[in-house]
Structure 1
Amino acid sequence: MSTVASIEMLFVGRVKPLERKGHVAVPSGIVKQPHPGPLRVSFNGVEGDEQGDLLVHGGVEKAIHHYPADHYEFWRSVYPSSVVPLEPGAFGENISTSGMTEHNVCIGDIYRAGSTLLQISQGRQPCWKLNRLLNEREAALMMQTSGATGWYYRVLEEGWLARHDRLELVDRPCPAWTMERLINALFPLDPGAPGLPEEWHEASTIKQLTAKWQTTFARRVQLNAMEDWTRRLYEA
């Protein structure tokens, strides 16, 4: 097995009202705090962590969110006067590392971490709650177009995680499909780019990908069209 990175920080958070001036508060678990000790990990996620809307967040296919610490320099350059400190933990992640990014991890990667076994299941689809958190109308769109989304794990073996645990690559069943490639297929900058329907078709057949993302890609092939992202990206 090869060590990819070590866990620098772990974060958990309870559901709390997410408020911004002029908006009705909504329940959200995006605000998380560092957890210094070991954490119990089940198939449903990390002990002590909560999500505000279980229809779109959490669950066995999105049990743990990993966001690269490497991306925060970019975010500080985009929003230098952010109302939220742009440092690890700011975007609701559970795991923070340096050196692992969408460029060098793949969909379906299996990692031994502590006594757990984790598999990358899909990328993050940013929503309007990120806009509200940062008080920036285009934050979710910026995350989407930048490709700096992070990714989710499903838990293959329950166990414990702690800071400084190593993430060791056990298996890479889809080496051609980096998360960067997958995210670019889901969020193409040019929806009319040649070869994109073929990318969608191939992505729809990746068995390690969540059923929801497989269905999204398959529907695009069938309809030869992309879905409307407005409701997800902007608060109604």
Structure 2
Amino acid sequence: MRLLSISSGKVAPLFGDHHPDYKSVPSAIRKTSISNLESCVQIHINKLGVQDDEQADLNVHGGVEKAIYVYPAEHYVFWNQLLTRETKKPTSLKHGSLGENFTIEGLLETEVFVGDKLEIGDLEFAVTKLREPCFKFNAALGYKGAAKAMVQSGYSGWYLRVLKTGLVSAGATIKLIPGPRNTSIAQQNQNLLMKRNQKDLWD
């Protein structure tokens, strides 16, 4: 298990400056890799996440309990195939395109439980919850069914609390330290799927 990429982003208009209805909607969902296997730059991680990374709506993103958003690289094949089919445009997403801070390999939602700890390099994190996508995720990927596809597929990724701050770079190994193991991220996602299906809560 290892860290493939660290990404960050700045708050900007989600739909650009010329959309008649949404030009005032801010978002930092569009992330850019700042440390990767081609350039293993050390990045400072503080209690609120990646240094200089921003979040537009702190009610639903960021903060101590959602300081780092992690996403498995294994799911990129799914998204590239889905978007290529649905948008009729060849798609090859770069790490960070799903809004994640850490792109990792070797660890999936079925294997991660709330309360587990992850040691990444010299740093330590606690798993807190899954990511719940909204209309901003649809906009970032240019496909109105993206949020629904994320929940239905179970490819949600998860948030981390930072327990030990410091420097880390892409290429760092990941060690999983099991917690109580009561609820996995995959189980949380199933609960969210049932809730949305019952109430028809799709953006």
TM-score, normalised by the number of residues in structure 1: 0.74
CA offsets per residue over residues 161-187 of structure 1, 9 Å max, x none? 211111112x31233532212221232
Residue 4 (structure 2) aligned to one of 2, 5, 8? 8
The residue type paired with residue 3 of structure 2 is I
Q: Gapped runs of 5+ residues in structure 2?
A: 36-40
Q: How does 1:63-102 map to 2 (within 5 A)?
A: 63-80=67-84, 81=88, 85-102=92-109
1:24 aligns with 2:22: yes
The answer to whether the 8 Å contact 1:145/1:189 transfers is no
Of 135, 159, 162, the match for 2:166: 159
Alpha-carbon distance in 2 for matches of 1:112, 1:76? 29
Q: CA deviation at 1:135?
A: 2.2
Q: 1:208 aligns to what?
A: none
Gap regions ≥5 residues in structure 1: 192-225
Residues 1:71 and 1:19: Cα distance change in structure 2 (over 3 Å): same
Deviations 1:54-87 (A, max 9, x none): 1111000000000111111111221113586434
The alpha-carbon distance between structure 1 residues 185 and 57, as it changes in their structure 2 partners (threshold 3 A), is same
The equivalent residue for 1:114 is 121
- Alignment pair present for 1:146 and 2:181: no
Q: Which residue of structure 1 aligns with residue 131 of structure 2?
A: 124
After the TM superposition, list the runs of 4 or more consecutive aligned residues in structure 1 that deviate by more than 3 angstroms.
20-23, 81-85
Residues 130, 189 of structure 2: 8 Å contact kept: yes
From the superposition, tell whether residues 161 and 22 of structure 1 become closer, same or farther in structure 2 (CA, over 3 Å): same
SS in 1 for 2:109: coil
Give the C-alpha shift of residue 115 in structure 1.
2.5
Structure 1 match to 2:175: 168
Map of 1:35 onto structure 2 = 34
**1:160 Cα shift?**
1.6
Task: Write the distance in 2 (CA, Å) between the matches of 1:49 and 1:120.
Answer: 19
CA distance in 2, matches of 1:188, 1:6: 32
Q: Aligned residue for 1:223? A: none
The letter of the residue matching 1:166 is T
In 2, Cα distance between equivalents of 1:180 and 1:70: 15
Q: Distance in 2 between matches of 1:143 and 1:112?
A: 26
Amino acid at match of 1:138: G
Tell me the residue number matched to 2:38. none
Counterpart in 2 of 1:184? Answer: 190
SS in 2 for 1:73: helix
Larger Rg: 1
- Find the aligned partners of 2:117 and 2:101 in 1 and give their Cα distance: 17
Relative contact order (alpha carbons < 8 A, sep ≥ 6): 1 or 2 greater?
2
Q: How many residues align?
A: 192
Paired residues of 1:82 and 1:134 also in contact (CA < 8 A) = no
Helix, strand or coil at the partner of 1:155: strand
Q: Does structure 1 conserve the Cα–Cα contact (< 8 Å) formed by 2:80 and 2:91? A: no
What SS is found at the alignment partner of 1:163? coil
Identity over aligned residues, as a percent? 33
SS of residue matched to 1:168: strand
